[in-house]
Structure 1
Amino acid sequence: MNDAAIDYAAVFQCLPGMVALLTPDLVYADANEEFLRMSGRTREQVVGRYLFDVFPDNPKDDGASGMRNLAASLQRVLQTGERDAMALQRYDVEVPGRPGEWEERYWSPINAPVLGPEGKVLLLVHRVEEVTELIKARGGPTGSRSRVLEAELYTRARELQELNERLRAAHAREREVALALQEAMLPARRQVGHHRAAVRYRPAVGALNVCGDWYDLVDLVGGNRVGVAVGDVVGHGLAAAGVMGQLRSALSAASRVAAGPAEALNVLGRYANVVDGAESATVVTTFIDYDDHSITYSSAGHPPPVLVHADGRVEFLDKATDPPLDARPDPFPRPQAWTSYTAGATLALYTDGLIERRHEDIDTGLTRLAESLARHRALDPERLADAVLLELLPPGGATDDTALVIVRL
């Protein structure tokens, strides 16, 4: 049987659990029969209405937190594109046909995203396990034991919820400190000599997975030359920011004295061997010679720079790619390649947050980047960088941080 022969709408309605579909604005797009039956609502009372207009908190309970907790879970799914399983919730429901009368209910919700081709959350799957009868079991010889179990289970659920909230607050503080450290260590946007360049750093949205990406621009000794590099440290938060700062500084110093980008990466690789947290870090560096209109480059496991020639032709600088830093126990010579350009060309270096999307081949992201750069190549570097980020990053932000450097040649 193929997909065309399956009535998925009928399958949805027959699912044995309570399942609803929500829009990103938290409006009910659909609800299956079990959801309507267990909640005591009709389709007209649910579909097309805002979630918390249908199921608000009990106004008679000053400690009610079900609405706030559910909203936070759904926002996490929207921001991260990841499934979120909630702790057991007490979420009272107004009794149908009895305005002002509320019934004590217990729910175990799981929220999951439905992603579009660009990785954007199109719908939210809201699945609810009704556990009220289990929690409120009464009567018979096990009645008192059930009441004890109910109290203990509810207490443990509230404790877990409070612990999760404290952990999120701690993560938010670490994220804030890490971002401040990242900003302090990355070079400010500036021109390299008299050449035009634009730099951008966008942290991941709604996640601690930040501060591993970095960039560097440095004037090279001898001739009209500059070095441009980007890199990505495996890890996140303060630890990644610290490693990032060490690797960026080491490469900047090595580039000033190295004969070429491969030699600079050789030095950086030896340094990475003694830096905790530098394992599997990736980096690509380019040496631009404006006098002879050439670019020499070398990559340690990083996505290739993109050279957009003045006539719109796109060239990926992928002829000198090797494994990431510290990928081998002993240092080894890195490869190096060379290409030429004419005045008016554009060079772009970036990290994988710009091109990688969940459930999508990386070549699709590379093609999208090449097309965007070629389409907007007439813009100055600052406006070009903004245009590329606007087109390539999801509207709500990416789940991985992103660095981008644009140089007009």
Structure 2
Amino acid sequence: MIPSVLPTYNRAPLRFERGEGTWLIAEDGTRYLDLGAGIAVNALGHAHPALVEALTEQAGKLWHLSNLYEIPQQQALADALVEQTFADTVFFTNSGTEACELAVKMARKYWSDKGSPERVNIVTFSGAFHGRSSAGIAAAGSEKMTKGFGPLLPGFVHLPFGVHGSVLSNAIDDTVAAILVEPIQGEGGIRPLPDPCLKGLRDLCDDTGTLLIFDEVQCGMGRTGKLFAHEWAGIAPDIMMVAKGIGGGFPLGAVLATENAAAGMTAGTHGSTYGGNPLACAVGARVLEIVGDPAFLDAVDRKAGGLRQKLEGLVANHPDIFELVRGTGLMLGLKCRVPNGDVVQACYAQNLLTVPAADNIVRLLPPLTITDEEIAEAVARLDAAAAALAATTAAES
């Protein structure tokens, strides 16, 4: 008999009733150190007082209006995002998946309005994850994402991750509307695209007129020590997808764009019933106020350096369990020599929450508010988990 909740997830048998900062408390009172943060969503941890205040204050006034009317909270958040980023305009969604849908539509509409409707193809890269809508899975293109869901939405060209030079430039013909890429692949296994590659993509797009779309749903909102990951490369996209951390746990996403890239999106070309509602935008504005503070971002960068150093030591101490550390900021991955699912399970036994990813990676995506003491505790628990795995492996051999 099928469960009342559609069984599309392999859920761990854990039930949490409340959270406090970097900690989650189960129904039996057990405390778990959370290095997953809802998969990079709870950027400010659980039950952050400023976010609770923003939500409850707005909840007592107005929840929903629809976009038939002006929404001051939406305008305020859009203004703040425009001020702090490359963008000239913002459309609010409820998720990263919805942001992907609009980014694809925006790029194609741009070329249609310019008199080149044949420019519809979006170039993407292996290992990508852009959500689970029809456009999102077609953009990713992997069998894991697409099997059984055909026919797939056409208009996507898939290239190997990290491809460059003539192979990349030859793929940009007069049918291509945009290049869509994650500066750091999350689901794909915490694979950063090096700064020279990001700069090369920007140069290629400038030379060919192709639009450059960044998916910063997972790597954005302060996770790398910059407000957005692409800032480390000193370049900017034409369109950017944002979600996860922007709402601090409240469902919120956005598409940011330059005036030029968004020129085709006039009244009636796109919409969202819930997107940009007063509740979401009130919380999002408070998140941005906190995360966008340069002192906060400096603290993230500093803590990330400390965590990275400790993880390198962990890998050195457990060479049979771990192979290497990769990633940027507080978006780090441990590449495992044993199945990553075994590491995640061993961490559960240490009351530590981590997230698996492709390429046998265990993701570490803690709240950006994690303390130095909690970082030390987290690595100690990872060490204990690795030691337990090593002992089990030795006993079985």
Q: TM-score, normalised by structure 1?
A: 0.23
Which has more strand, going by share of residues? 1
Q: TM-score, normalised by structure 2?
A: 0.24
Larger of the two Rg values belongs to structure = 1
Larger RCO: 1 or 2 (CA < 8 Å, sep 6+): 2
